[in-house]
């Protein structure tokens, strides 16, 4: 294990820091304890981030952050979804890191479902530490944990989902160890569901060559099937770690980090969240996202709230200037969250949307799809200059830093 990796080496946690790059917006499984839709500065858990970055944005942010905080030695990808639900984003981020920051220790965390096809390249890129979340090796125990598993464009449920996931997880651990990569097993401890089974899991992982195991207490999250499940007691967690210790070195200093965490474990850098938001406002360089959508009453000014727009103007950059190529109808009102997920699909070839205003729910869903959202007023061309040319936009309307209010300082310990 690397002596400068604070997550794998307890002795390093007060000396060296880590940063999580939130470049993985989607997940390929749905765990019954996870809700990635909620974003609050006081939430400190995987699956939560204030912004999603493109690979270029992420590496630019990493360079800026480490220039200010050289104690950060590790850059990881851990969400807010799974890195291999959108492998193209993950691998491009790692390639850019290797090219521009070769001294940085690279790591990532995955559920293991779709990592195997990329393990050869991960080794070539120098990714030396990988965490796989495995909650059990008995599918009768793990079946109730997952609502669904999506693999190769098919949705699996029930026992079939649990069996497929376990098969891929075991394959991933085997292949990672064959490449000499340090493997940490994360296990969510769910009282009465898998706590008694963890020694069996630990024994199997030790036999396969895993290096350490991190038992993470269940954090009951609102609006999930497990929201009323009891959180493990300190005594139970102590006993679980003792049982793990019979087979593997247990990790005992986990900070249950956000997908955009940065700094020493337990001492995150206060300015990092705003830095991420600032870099998220920069243009995304993506050949598949060539256009910009605009909410406008007449096609000259950005002057319409997104919720009111029955259609959006779609603009493209050309050698002779900007050109409006079409108007696209927005999904029907009255469908709740589905309207915004459908709109994200409708705008999958757009890198940004210019709006006069936008609610917190559409902002959340559209930004997590990789779309840059710019609230502004004024000429459309000025907004397009901001997206395509990186010019400063003086008529931008900056959102509050967090949906629960700009007055919230945020400690990452939960809302009281």
**DSSP notation for 368-411:** HTT-EEEEB-EEHHHHHHHHHH----TTB-PPPSSTT-TT----
**Per-residue confidence of the chain (416 residues) as pLDDT tens digits?**
466 665 665 655 556 778 889 998 889 999 999 886 544 443 445 556 767 888 989 999 999 989 888 888 889 998 888 999 989 889 999 999 999 999 999 999 999 999 999 999 999 999 999 999 999 999 999 999 999 999 988 999 999 999 999 999 999 999 999 999 999 999 999 999 999 999 999 999 999 999 999 999 998 888 889 989 999 999 999 999 999 999 999 987 565 667 777 777 667 777 877 888 888 777 555 567 889 999 999 999 999 999 999 999 999 998 889 999 999 999 998 888 899 999 999 999 999 999 999 998 898 888 878 888 999 999 999 999 888 877 777 776 654 434 444 334 443 333 33
CA–CA gap between residue 198 and residue 141 (Å, rounded): 11
Task: Supply the pLDDT for residue 12.
Answer: 55
The radius of gyration of the chain from alpha carbons, rounded to an integer in Å, stands at 22
Vertex 217 angle, CA 211 and 218, to 5°: 125
CA–CA gap between residue 29 and residue 47 (Å, rounded): 12
Tokens representing 256? Answer: 């249950």
Task: Supply the pLDDT for residue 397.
Answer: 62
- Minimal CA–CA distance to 52: which of 21, 28, 82, 78? 21
Determine the topology of domain 10-279 in CATH: TIM Barrel (3.20.20)
Domain with CATH 3.20.20.70 in the chain: 10-279
Q: Cβ distance 279 to 61 under 8 Å?
A: yes
Does domain 284-389 fall into CATH 3.30.540.10? no
N-to-C CA span, the chain: 38
Q: What is the pTM of this model?
A: 0.67
Task: Supply the pLDDT for residue 42.
Answer: 38
Scanning the structure block, which residue is given the tokens 């070839």?
349
Domain with CATH 3.30.420.130 in the chain: 284-389
Task: Supply the pLDDT for residue 78.
Answer: 84
CA–CA gap between residue 318 and residue 384 (Å, rounded): 12
Task: Supply the pLDDT for residue 358.
Answer: 92
Task: Supply the pLDDT for residue 412.
Answer: 38
Vertex 322 angle, CA 316 and 327, to 5°: 55
Task: Supply the pLDDT for residue 416.
Answer: 35
CA–CA gap between residue 276 and residue 58 (Å, rounded): 8
CB-CB neighbours of 66 under 10 Å: 19
DSSP letter, residue 257? -
Task: Supply the pLDDT for residue 35.
Answer: 80
């Amino acid at each position: 294990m690397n002596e400068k990796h604070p997550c794998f080496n307890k002795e390093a946690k007060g000396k060296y820091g880590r940063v999580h790059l939130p470049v993985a917006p989607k997940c390929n499984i749905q765990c019954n304890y996870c809700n990635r839709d909620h974003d609050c500065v006081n939430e400190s858990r995987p699956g939560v981030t204030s912004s999603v970055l493109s690979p270029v944005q992420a590496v630019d942010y990493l360079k800026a952050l480490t220039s200010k905080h050289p104690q950060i030695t590790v850059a990881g990808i851990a969400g807010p979804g799974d890195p291999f639900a959108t492998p193209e984003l993950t691998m491009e981020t790692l390639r850019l890191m290797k090219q521009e920051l070769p001294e940085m220790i690279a790591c990532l965390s995955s559920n293991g479902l779709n990592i195997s096809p990329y393990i050869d390249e991960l080794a070539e890129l120098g990714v030396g530490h990988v965490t796989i979340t495995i909650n059990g090796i008995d599918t009768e125990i793990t079946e109730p944990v997952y609502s669904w598993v999506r693999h190769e464009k098919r949705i699996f449920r029930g026992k079939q989902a649990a069996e497929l996931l376990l098969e891929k997880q075991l394959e991933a651990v085997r292949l990672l160890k064959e490449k000499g990569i340090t493997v940490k097993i994360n296990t969510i401890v769910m009282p009465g569901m898998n706590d008694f089974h963890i020694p069996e899991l630990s024994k199997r992982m030790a036999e396969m060559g895993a290096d350490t195991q991190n038992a993470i207490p269940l954090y009951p999250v609102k609006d999930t099937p497990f929201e009323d499940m009891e959180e493990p007691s300190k005594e139970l967690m102590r006993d679980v770690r003792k049982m793990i210790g019979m087979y593997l070195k247990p990790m005992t200093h986990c900070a249950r980090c956000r997908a955009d965490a940065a700094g020493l474990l337990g001492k995150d850098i206060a300015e990092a969240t705003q830095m991420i938001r600032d870099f998220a406002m920069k243009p995304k360089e993506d050949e598949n996202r060539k256009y910009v959508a605009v909410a406008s009453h007449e096609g000259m000014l950005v002057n319409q709230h997104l919720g009111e727009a029955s259609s959006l103007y779609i603009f493209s950059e050309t050698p002779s200037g900007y050109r409006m190529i079409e108007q696209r109808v927005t999904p029907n009102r009255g469908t709740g969250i589905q309207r915004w997920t459908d709109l994200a699909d409708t705008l999958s070839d757009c890198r940004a949307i210019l709006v006069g205003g936008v609610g917190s729910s559409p902002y959340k869903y559209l930004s997590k799809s990789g779309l840059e959202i710019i609230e502004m007023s004024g000429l459309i061309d000025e907004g397009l200059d901001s997206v395509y040319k990186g010019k400063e936009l003086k008529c931008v309307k900056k959102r509050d830093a967090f949906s629960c209010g700009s007055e919230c300082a945020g400690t990452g310990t939960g809302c009281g």
